[in-house]
Each structure stands twice: as C-alpha cells, then as structure tokens.
Amino acid sequence: MRDGPEHGYVHGYDAGEQARLHDQAATLETLLHHDSRFPEGCTVLEAGSGVGAQTLPLLRRNPGIRLTCVDIAAASLAEGRARIAAAGLPLPAFRQADLRALPFADAAFDHAFVCFVLEHLPEPAAALAELRRVVRPGGSLTVIEGDHGSVLLHPEDAAARAAIACQVVLQRAAGGDAEIGRRLAPLLRQAGFAEARVSPRLVYVDGSRPALAEGFIRRTFTAMVAGIRDEAVHAGLTQEAAFDAGLRGLLRAADPDGTFCYTFFKAVAVVPAV
C-alpha cells in the first residue's frame, strides 16, 4: 500500500524514489529472498506491491506461482507492470485496492507476502487481520520490515543519528512506525496468526564490501534519509546545515575505514486451521 503522503508514505513518489526502491531490492535480494519460496501452481497475494521492486525477485525465484499484486496507487501498479514486462517475467494479476479492505473472498489465496508496507500503516494489526482473512487455513503470510533503531555506524556521528531520528518522527506523525521490525512477532499473534517465526537479517558493511557500501549505504539508506530533508526542515525538526551534516556522517560510514549495520526482520506465520 504505497502512495503519496496522504497515505502515510513519507518518501514520496518521484522518479528518484522509484529508482531507490529498485536499487534497494537489487542490493538486498539474496539477503531477504533466498528463502522466499512458494510451491509451483499456488496462489500468492503481494499486498502493497508498489512499483514492483519486490515483485521481481518473487517472480524470478518462484516460477509457476499465480501471483496477484495489490496496491492503492494506480500509477505504482502501472510502473510495476512495465518493469515486470521489461524483465521478461510473467505478468501477475493487478488490482487497485486498499490493503485494509481487500476485494477478495475469504481464503482466496494459499499465501500472502508483504514487504516494507506495515511500517507506513496506522493500524498494522488490522491490515494483518485482513490478510489473514484472505489466506486459506494452513496457508502462510511472509512479512519483511526494517527497524531504524537498529543502526550502528563507525565513526559514530550524532548528526547522522539526528537525521535518522527526523525520519522516525515524520513517519510516526504520518501514522507509521520506522522501528516496526522488532514488533512483528507480537503483531502477528495479535492478528490471529500462529507459528510466527522471525529471523533478523543483518546488513553489515565495511571497507571489504565496496559494492554493498555503494548499494546500501549510499544508494539505499542515505538516499532514503535524504529524501525527507525538505519535509524535516519544514516541520521544524532540523535545520538545513544540521541535516546535511547528518547525511555526510552517514556517507562517511561508506568510506574504506567506516562500518555500517542495519537489521531487517523477516517473519513467516501460518493461518490456523478452523
């Protein structure tokens, strides 16, 4: 469920953000999706599919699934369709809909998948309950979210942490939670799922991993924080010079003598049998 700020997506939808989403997906594909496996022929719902950044690895790694992509934004669905077609992958079914009121019958899917969506929702447990409704008993839900409270960096930089905090505050003001990763297990149980298994996925970067420094520190994480600069200044959370110093502090961690850590959380849970 990715759309403009009125839907709680603080990063916006310009071309730069679309590119960042795809850069992020490509950089993290092995880490996040090496075990994203669904049986051939099964029905899978990707809720909040956005511009198709996560759809591409799902299709590449799961030939033969019958995938349906749902998003609230028609423009995002159109962009996702174009990207998938350009990659030569089979086109999913596309539906424009709100994740909180899905246009599907009970137990319509064998499995569901959600990535980087719950963090933007004011009531993630309610959205999870709706996903439980449309997945058959015995079927599964896979959820992937980040947690901005997990950042470790060297050299330590107070300005960088203040810039990250601006995004946490803005996302909270929009009804979301940029630190939701740590909450996945209790949220899934609250929504009625069973057998919730959560695995942390640590991104660690140092000077021996220049490709990851470029792909994750520069083009994914720092680019994401940079995208809320104007909004953070306008909201009075920071000043331009202070925020820019924070961005420099984040980029400093990408230097050969720097380090950076961030943790994503991947959860798989089951819809209990009636």
**What are the residue boundaries of the structural domains of the chain, listed by start?**
5-270
Residue 274: predicted pLDDT: 74
Q: Are 175 and 256 in contact (CB under 8 A)?
A: no
Cα separation, 114 vs 231, in Å, equals 27
Residue 9: predicted pLDDT: 47
Tell me the HSE value of 269 on the side-chain side, using a 13 A CA sphere.
Answer: 25
- 97's CB contacts (< 8 A; 6+ apart) are 70, 71, 72, 103
Taking 80 as the threshold, does the pLDDT of residue 17 lie above it?
no
pLDDT tens string 31-61: 999 999 999 999 999 999 999 999 999 999 9
Of 273, 269, 104, nearest to 190 by C-alpha is 269
Topology classification of domain 5-270: Rossmann fold (3.40.50)
pTM to 2 decimal places: 0.91
Peptide bond into 272 cis (omega under 30): no
More confidently predicted of 7 and 154? 154
User: Measured on CA atoms in the order 187, 120, 179, 152, is the torsion positive or negative?
Assistant: positive
pLDDT tens string 158-198: 999 999 999 999 999 999 999 999 999 999 999 999 999 99
pLDDT band at 246 (very low <50, low <70, confident <90, very high): very high
Taking 90 as the threshold, does the pLDDT of residue 260 lie above it?
yes
Residue 5: predicted pLDDT: 40
Average pLDDT estimate for 86-94: 96
pLDDT band at 2 (very low <50, low <70, confident <90, very high): very low
